[in-house]
Structure 1
Amino acid sequence: MEFLEKLEFFGPYKTLLLFIGLAILAATYLPRFLSSYPVSMPMVVLGLGLIASIFPLNVDPDLIYSHTWLLEHVTELAVIIALMEAGLKIDRLFEWKTWRIPWRLLSITMLLTIFLIGITGWWIGGLLPATALLLGAVVAPTDPVLASDIQVAGPNQGARDEESGKEEHEPNRAEDEVRFSLTSEAGLNDGLAFPFTYLAIFLAGAGLSQELIWSWVATHVVYKIGIGVSIGYFGGWLAGKYLLTLPAYSDHSKAISGLSSLALTLILYGITELVAGYGFIAVFVGALTLRRYDPDHLKHSNLHSFIDKVQRILTSCLILAFGIVLGLGFLVDVTVVEIIITVLIVFFIRPLSGIVGLIGSKLPKKEIWAISFLGLRGIGSLYYFFYAINIHDFEGKNSVLTILMLTILFSIIIHGFLGPLIMKHLDSRTRQLS
C-alpha cells in the first residue's frame, strides 16, 4: 500500500475517477451483452467497487454512519429518476384487469412481507417492535433502481434490437407478465412503503394510540397517497399535452428534448413534497400518464432514452460506492443472526409472500415462482432507512443497516446470477408456446 501511495497515478482522486468511468462504461454497454448470461451489470460494478477499495481512496469507512443526510438525498434522487424511467417504458394500459398482478403484489405480498420481516426481526433478531417494523418497511419494497435489467424494454420496443433497429421476431418481451409485474411493482410499492416507515417512526417516538392510528391513516395513507396520485396524473397529462406537441426540427433538438423527462421528474417530485404528498407516487403516476398520452409519439423514445442514461449513471456510481464501502470492511462485524435473517428474507419471506399474493391469479406456476423470487432489494431501501433515522434515533439501527446491506448484497449476487437464467428460460418457453 505504501508503494501505491507513492505513485502519482494512484492518487485518491484520479483513482476514483478511473473507477467511476469504468462503472459508467459497464452500465452503458454490459446489459445488452449480459442479458443471456448468469452475470448482471450490478454484479460487475460491485466487483469494481471491491477492487477500488484496495487502493488508497481516502474514504472514511464510517461514511455510511457519519453522512446520513447526504446519503438520504443521493439515494432519493436515484429512486425518483428510476421511477420516471420505469413508468415511461410501460406500454400497458392502466386498467384494473390488466394490472391485476401488481395490485395483488401491493395489497397482499407487500403487506405480508412487512409483517413477516417485522416478526423475524423482533423474534429472531431481538429488535424492539418499532425497529423491527422499520426493518420490514424498508426491506419490503422491491427496487426500481437495480431491477432495470429484468424489467420491460423501452417505449414500443418489444424485442427490437438496439443497434440494428430490426425486429427479432420474438415474443414481445415488453409485455410478458413477469417483466411487467416486476416493473410495475417496483414503481408503485416504493411510494406505498412510506406509510409504514412513518408508522415505525411514530411507534419509536410517542408510541401508538387509537388517535394516532386514525391520524396516520388519514394523513399518511389517504391524504399523501391521494395527493401523489392526483399531482402525478395531472402533471403527466399536462406534460403530454404540451411537451409532445413542441416541434423538433433537427436531430439535436430531438435528442435534447429528452431533458424534459428529467425536468418533469424533479418538478413533480418537488411540487408533491411541498404540499406534503408522496413524491415517489407522483413521479411514477406522472410517467405512466405521460406514456399513455399519444402513446405512438416518437418523442416517448427520446424522453425514455435520456432518463435511462441518467439512471444508469447514478446506478453505476451508487453500486460502485456500495462495493467500496463493503470492501473497506463494513460487514466484518456481521453476526450469525443477521445472516440468518437475511437468508430468510431473500429465500423464504419474499418468495412465500409472492406466492401467497398470486394464489388464484391463473398465472402459470413458473411465472408465479419467477415473480415471487425476483424481488430485488436495493437503493430504495437505503433511502427509507436514512430518511427514518434522520428523523428519529432507532435503537438497534446499526443491526437494521447491516441486514439491509447484506440483503442488497445477496440480491445483487443471487438475483444477478439467477435472474438472466430465469428470464431466458421463460422467454424460450413463450416462444415454444407461440
Structure 2
Amino acid sequence: MTTLLLVYSAVLLLSVLVSNLANRTILSTAVIFLVAGFLCGSGVSGLIPLEPGDSIVATLAELALFSVLFTDGMRVGWSDLRSAWRLPGRALLLGLPLTLVLTAAFAHWVAGLDWIESLLIGAVLAPTDPVFAAALVGNDKVPARLRHLLNVESGVNDGLALPFVLIFLTLASGSPDLHLGALAGELAIGLLIGVAVPWIAIRLEATRLFSASARYQPLNALAIGLLVLGLALVTGGNLYLAAFAAGITIATCGPRQRQAFEEFGELIAELLKLAALLVFGALISPAFLSEIPLGGWIFAVLALVVARPVALALSFLGSGLNAREQVAAAWFGPKGFAAVVYGLLVLDSQIPAAGSVFHLVAVTIVLSILAHSSTDVLVARWFDEPDETPRWHETGDTAPAPPREPDPERPDSPS
C-alpha cells in the first residue's frame, strides 16, 4: 500500500508537469498511468505487487466507479436531455444496444465464448468516456452538435450500461434465479437512495433554517454523495445506480449545487480514475498478454474499428450529420473508463469464465486507451479547416478567367 501511494504520487506529479504538453500533442495522461502501472506491476518490476483478489483492487474500483457515475449523472440533468436529445438519443437508444450486440457477436464467433459471457463483454465495453475525446469536446471549431453529442452520450451511457452488466454478470453465475431477485432489490434500494437523499438535502437548503456559505457550497454535493454512498453500503442498495441517480437528481433539482461542485467534483473523480488506471495497468503483465489467443486480439480490433462505427452509422441514418462528424463520433468509443472498472468487477465476481472475459476486456481497453486518448488532438485538428470544396490553388487546377466587363465603347463587347 505504501509503495502504491508513492508510485501514484510520483506519476501524478509527472502528469501535472506535462499536462500542458499533453493538451497539445498525442501524449495522454491516461496512457502515462496505464504504462506506469504496467511497468511497476508484479509482472515487470514488482514495485506494485498487486493480485486480482487483493482488497485494494476492489475497493479502489468501487470508489472510482461511484465517483464517475455521480459526476456523469450531474453532467446531464433532465433539462439538458430535453433541450437537445435528438442526436444523443439516437446514440444512446440505438447506438448503445447495437454496439453491445455487435461486440457480443464478435466475442462469440471470433473469441469462442458462450452467449451469456459474450453479452457480458458487450455490456462492459459499450460505454465511452469524454476524457478520451477531451480535445474534441473542448475545441470550439468542432460543431456544437457533435461536442454535445459526445458529452451527453459519454455522460449517460455508463449508467445505462450498468444494469446490463449486472444482469449478464448474474446470469453468468451459478444460480441466476436466486441472484436476479436480489439484484432487483439492490437496484430498487439504490434508485430510492439516489433520488431521495439529494432531493431532501436540496429542499432543506432552500428553507430559511439552512443555508450553505459560499466557502462550503462546493462541499454540498460532495456531502450528498458521501451520504448516498454510506446509506447504500449500509442498506445493501446498488452503489452505482444510487450514484448515477443522485447525480441526475442534483443536476435537475439543484442547478446551483451542481455548478458549485462541477469543477471540484471533476477533479476528485479524475484522481480516483487515474488511481484505478494505475492499478489496472499493474494487473497486466507480459505473461498476461501472452495468454491471450490470436482470436482475442482479433476480437479487440473488431470491437474497436467495426462494432461502434457500424452501430453509429446505422443509428445516424437521416440525422443530418456529415461524414466527418459521423467518423469522429464513431471513433471515440469504445472504451470509457467505466469499462475499466466493469472489467475489474467481472474479475472480482469469480464467475466460471471471469478469467477469459477479463483477458478480452483488458486487451480491448488497453488498445483503446492507447489509440483513442492519443488521437483526440489529431482528430480535433481535423476540424480546424471548414468542410468545403477545395479552392483552385489547393487542387493545382487552373482557375477560370473572370468574365469580361462589358465595354460600352465597343459594340462587340460581351454583355
TM norm structure 1? 0.74
SS in 1 for 2:49: coil
Q: What does 1:207-356 correspond to in 2, within 5 Å?
A: 231-242=193-204, 246-248=211-213, 254=215, 256-271=216-231, 279-293=239-253, 295=255, 297=256, 300-327=258-285, 329-356=287-314
Q: Is the 8 A contact 2:340 2:365 kept in 1?
A: no
Amino acid at match of 1:180: H
Residue in 2 that maps onto 1:37? 25
Task: Report Cα offsets for 1:293-322 as digits up to 9, x if no partner.
Answer: 564x4x645412322222222122222223
Residue identity over aligned pairs, in percent, reads 24
Amino acid at match of 1:426: F
User: Structure 1 residue aligned with 2:118, among 132, 146, 151?
Assistant: 132
Q: What does 1:153-164 correspond to in 2, within 5 Å?
A: none
Matches of 1:74 and 1:128, distance apart in 2: 30
Matches of 2:168 and 2:254, distance apart in 1: 42
- Residue 88 and residue 203 in structure 1: after superposition, are their counterparts in 2 closer, same or farther (change >3 A)? closer
Gaps of 5+ in 2: 388-415
SS in 2 for 1:326: coil
Task: Report Cα offsets for 1:101-150 as digits up to 9, x if no partner.
Answer: 22222221111122112221111111122222222121222246x54735
User: Structure 2 residue aligned with 1:141, among 127, 130, 134?
Assistant: 127
Task: Report Cα offsets for 1:389-430 as digits up to 9, x if no partner.
Answer: 6556233x3222111111111111100121122234336659
Residue in 1 that maps onto 2:392? none
Residue 374 (structure 2) pairs with residue 417 (structure 1)? yes
**Post-superposition shift, 1:89?**
4.5
**Post-superposition shift, 1:266?**
3.2
Q: Which entry has the higher C-alpha Rg, 1 or 2?
A: 2
Matches of 2:203 and 2:165, distance apart in 1: 35
Residue in 1 that maps onto 2:411? none
Gaps of 5+ in 1: 1-11, 154-158, 160-169
Residue in 2 that maps onto 1:5? none
Matches of 2:276 and 2:204, distance apart in 1: 34
Residue in 1 that maps onto 2:332? 374
**Post-superposition shift, 1:327?**
4.5
Residue 40 (structure 2) pairs with residue 52 (structure 1)? yes
Matches of 1:319 and 1:48, distance apart in 2: 9
Residue in 2 that maps onto 1:122? 108
TM norm structure 2? 0.77
**Post-superposition shift, 1:379?**
4.1
Matches of 1:375 and 1:182, distance apart in 2: 10
SS in 2 for 1:93: helix
Matches of 2:201 and 2:94, distance apart in 1: 33
Q: What does 1:83-232 correspond to in 2, within 5 Å?
A: 83-89=69-75, 93-96=79-82, 98-143=84-129, 147=132, 149=134, 176-205=144-173, 231-232=193-194
Residue in 1 that maps onto 2:321? 363
Task: Report Cα offsets for 1:140-179 as digits up to 9, x if no partner.
Answer: 22246x54735867xxxxx8xxxxxxxxxx56x8x93333
Q: Is the 8 A contact 2:217 2:261 kept in 1?
A: yes
Residue in 2 that maps onto 1:400? 357
Q: Is the 8 A contact 1:76 1:380 kept in 2?
A: no
Identify the range of structure 1 (412-421 vs 324-333) with the bigger mean alpha-carbon deviation: 324-333
**Post-superposition shift, 1:195?**
3.2
SS in 1 for 2:283: helix
Matches of 1:183 and 1:388, distance apart in 2: 27
